[in-house]
Structure 1
């Protein structure tokens, strides 16, 4: 059966921005084929979507009715095509056999990480297409791949600066002043990495007749999803990723707290760099819970969470080890030419089936030598090949099988015929 297979030779668990994709397209023809081109398309895109029900006036029925409106947003980061034949789209014939076409592509440096939620997602796909003449089905192979880009807190110098918040509140019973409460909180910096401990200093001076029952400290994550069609809208997905309670302060009392904040190693911190439709922010919220009918006192300080701590400069991400689906211990080394190589039978890589569902991107834990920010094992993970589905052949001659599949043409025979006149 004629088909097209796609292989990524250095893909293990993910790529990162600035890394080079190395792969090849393996085209199998059971008979001579006319093609208009062989291309590899790489696309990275963020999309947002939701529906809302709104009321409108129907001029035909002269009634107010409800309708469902679909809101969408999109931001394309990569839309690149590699022409493997470089024939300008002109027609040429390729002999029956197995043909290998290598390709490389360097990803842009600052790419947002793979992400998926119910309101939006960031995904990357790679697709190989053998273009056939009109009325012929193309041969295609497509698969998603994962991008994990670490958040480097050193890229924003302002995150080194300390932050202080304070507030004073007067308490009343009806119209009578029952005293004031003064609170203050400060942190030495506003950039916090996974697994790092951030000192938190809180001081309370309670000169009122009311009790501060407890102090609640939380870090809240706010993911913003933006749509642009049919018009601009924004939705938020909020979550609490850190929570801690401290003891309170009685009336006419005071206290000082020296605490530490630490983000769990299992927390997922996604990099949304250069993404226009999905953004994230973090806020440290400190709530002083007052007794009785008094409103609470709240302090808030914006934070930035990341993977590479402030002051750590070893930010080079090592490329995943090359994943070669050929058993190099038994197969002879093969140096593919730049075009039209026919793979020997004993060295032909075979597809490794895997589910198409992409796992959740892991936290980046190899940002600096000796650190483990994400809570994942520091030892290299077992290599696994992504699943590359192959479109089945559709034309009649595509179902023919060679009498002797090991009788492959030579490299010279595998070269394409001249353009058909």
Structure 2
């Protein structure tokens, strides 16, 4: 009785859409013989799902929270009011039923985090008429939502930032200082851009700096308001570069580029929020405590218009070794040259193409993250 094929096909092959954009496609039904179809229902669903733990005396309480962002249903064939014996006859072969839905403009971006997720899907149910067993065929497809963030509308992200670091080491009754000044030209960037970093380090102590790490972290916050307010924080390392250290009694000045991988923009609304920071770690030799500090950065979808992004490493920059967790690896990664293109082009049409390319890459890596966590997919979408 079931159709041979029931597929959901998006016109946008990346399955990535901006909030407020129209989602278009078609449902493909292939029948081996003529069938009487009662209806074909399509349901757009989007929700936040969180799973947190809370300590109560000597035991832990596990609790969950769901928040709906999308809940829209329509019928591509028939309606919910049709009699179970009524229906439309479909001949053997392939049939196509188009769909279109405009996403709300205020929904959060897709994210797959440590303690929760924001996910979106299209669910299709095909129901047969004159079928006492009430058989139905179900299919669903996930898609990615990106909430646009124009960095030109955010105050202060164009301003340069300096991070001073200092620590003193005792030697022969004297305090010998280690001083570092780290600066970046702005705090607002987009995926694919490279951040120019200037490091001025003066090590007047007898303790060498073994290694310098520059780490990009994503900081996630999970807000629960019922049965009582609770918030959990989680920090995840996305990628890092490892640089040579600084000898004792010596100084260096280094210009370094840090490329931002494909990432969702900063999100400051909904029950799951996330932001990004650059962490700088001066790893000291021996048993001495490391010296470190952070600079918060804002990731958007539309870059700052008057900041020129770097697209290649200048001759005077130190070569880098990049270590990236497997969940963030993107192969192939054509974004290496994207940073130089985004802000150099002044043609609106070319900028639009770049934004579409960015959405495509974000869609690929987030869908990979969601599908790699079956427990999230099962709890959010159920067993279909």
TM-score (norm 1): 0.59
Contact 2:169 2:176 in 1 (8 A): yes
Aligned counterparts of 1:361 and 1:230: Cα–Cα separation in 2: 40
Aligned to 1:20: 23
The runs of 5 or more residues in structure 1 that have no matched partner are: 57-65, 314-358, 378-421
Q: Secondary structure at the match of 1:211?
A: coil
- Choose from 255, 264, 279 the match for 1:285: 279
Query: Residues 222-241 of structure 1 correspond to what in structure 2 (within 5 A)?
Result: 222-224=218-220, 226=222, 228=224, 231=228, 232-241=230-239
Aligned counterparts of 1:31 and 1:307: Cα–Cα separation in 2: 47
Give the direction of change, closer, same or farther, for the CA distance of 1:39–1:281 in structure 2 (3 Å limit).
Answer: same
Aligned to 1:262: 259
Matched, 1:185 2:172: no
Aligned to 1:137: 134
Give the direction of change, closer, same or farther, for the CA distance of 1:272–1:161 in structure 2 (3 Å limit).
Answer: closer
Structure having the higher strand fraction is: 2
Give the direction of change, closer, same or farther, for the CA distance of 1:78–1:369 in structure 2 (3 Å limit).
Answer: closer
Q: Secondary structure at the match of 2:11?
A: coil
Aligned counterparts of 2:251 and 2:67: Cα–Cα separation in 1: 52
Aligned counterparts of 1:32 and 1:133: Cα–Cα separation in 2: 8
Shift of 1:44: 1.3
Matched, 1:303 2:297: yes
Aligned to 1:166: 164
Contact 1:225 1:279 in 2 (8 A): yes
Contact 1:148 1:361 in 2 (8 A): no
Q: Secondary structure at the match of 1:210?
A: coil
Aligned to 2:43: 41
Aligned counterparts of 1:189 and 1:234: Cα–Cα separation in 2: 29
Shift of 1:137: 2.1
Matched, 1:97 2:90: yes
Give the direction of change, closer, same or farther, for the CA distance of 1:246–1:136 in structure 2 (3 Å limit).
Answer: same
Aligned counterparts of 2:148 and 2:40: Cα–Cα separation in 1: 37
Aligned counterparts of 1:145 and 1:360: Cα–Cα separation in 2: 20
Shift of 1:122: 3.0
Give the direction of change, closer, same or farther, for the CA distance of 1:181–1:9 in structure 2 (3 Å limit).
Answer: closer
Query: Residues 316-335 of structure 1 correspond to what in structure 2 (within 5 A)?
Result: none
Shift of 1:301: 0.8
Aligned counterparts of 1:222 and 1:216: Cα–Cα separation in 2: 20
Contact 1:45 1:75 in 2 (8 A): yes
The structure number with the bigger radius of gyration is: 1
- Choose from 192, 196, 199 the match for 1:199: 196
Give the direction of change, closer, same or farther, for the CA distance of 1:171–1:306 in structure 2 (3 Å limit).
Answer: same
Contact 1:74 1:277 in 2 (8 A): no
The runs of 5 or more residues in structure 2 that have no matched partner are: 308-327, 343-350, 362-384
Which deviates more, 176-185 or 23-32?
23-32
Contact 1:191 1:304 in 2 (8 A): yes
Matched, 1:106 2:102: yes
Aligned residues: 313
Give the direction of change, closer, same or farther, for the CA distance of 1:136–1:221 in structure 2 (3 Å limit).
Answer: same
TM-score (norm 2): 0.64
Contact 2:26 2:98 in 1 (8 A): yes
Structure having the higher helix fraction is: 2
CA deviations on 1:134-180 (whole Å, 9 max, x unpaired) are 97626343212321538655253432211112144343359x44243
Shift of 1:360: 9.6
Shift of 1:16: 0.6
Give the direction of change, closer, same or farther, for the CA distance of 1:97–1:111 in structure 2 (3 Å limit).
Answer: same
CA deviations on 1:234-256 (whole Å, 9 max, x unpaired) are 152521412222331423x4332
Aligned counterparts of 2:306 and 2:130: Cα–Cα separation in 1: 55
Shift of 1:187: 0.8
Give the direction of change, closer, same or farther, for the CA distance of 1:71–1:133 in structure 2 (3 Å limit).
Answer: farther
Q: Secondary structure at the match of 1:160?
A: coil
Shift of 1:285: 1.9
Of structures 1 and 2, the one with the larger relative CO (CA 8 A, separation 6+) is 1
Shift of 1:85: 6.4
Aligned to 2:318: none
Aligned to 1:71: 63
Contact 1:148 1:364 in 2 (8 A): no
